[in-house]
DNA sequence: ATCCTGACTTGAC
DNA sequence: GGTCAAGCCAGGA
């Protein structure tokens, strides 16, 4: 949901947005960060996702990739192929750790969610 | 308190 | 289309 105030931590905000990502779609860290208002804090989005792994949050982190569509976070998964398989499972084609038609599958919270 | 690292992004060459 | 360097914020040592 739209951040009403900064009462919630940056992480909680990331979780909300990521959980709102529709299936078969992907987004970038910068897009989420920009939606949160911290455009330059794209790294924090990834950091928040790490925390999400520790917690039992139902955050589809596999739907979040870097700007080039590269599965940068796959190495942080339990298995280096878990992320790619999860994406393919939703119908997203992944090739060489990169999302095919990433631009087409890109989901911008600032525009789509609005 | 400083220094380093990191699931990133952008601009410049 | 590549690579290099700088900026960015949070957390751990």
What would the DSSP string read from start to end of A62-97?
GGEE-TT-B-GGGGGSSSTTHHHHHHHHTT--EETT
Of A75, A11, A85, the closest CA to residue A43 belongs to A11
A38 touches strand C (CB under 7 A): yes
pTM score, whole prediction: 0.87
- pLDDT above 70 covers a percentage of chain A that reads 91
Residues 72-111 of chain A in contact with strand C via CB under 7 angstroms: none
A67 touches strand B (CB under 7 A): yes
Q: Residue A8's pLDDT is what?
A: 57
Q: How far apart are CA A83 and CA A109, in angstroms?
A: 21
Structure tokens given for A20: 């709102």
A40 touches strand C (CB under 7 A): yes
Q: Residue A3's pLDDT is what?
A: 42
Strand partners, A95: A98
């Amino acid at each position: 949901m739209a951040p009403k105030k900064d009462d919630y931590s940056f992480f909680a905000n990331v979780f909300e947005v990521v959980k709102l990502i529709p299936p078969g779609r992907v987004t970038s860290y910068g897009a989420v960060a920009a939606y949160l208002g911290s455009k330059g804090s794209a790294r924090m989005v990834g950091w928040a996702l790490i925390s999400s792994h520790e917690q039992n949050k139902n955050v589809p982190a596999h739907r979040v990739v870097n700007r080039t569509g590269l599965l940068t976070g796959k190495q942080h998964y339990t298995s280096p192929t878990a992320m790619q398989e999860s994406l393919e499972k939703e119908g997203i084609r992944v090739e060489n750790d990169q999302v095919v038609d990433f631009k087409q599958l890109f989901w911008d919270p600032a525009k789509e969610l609005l």
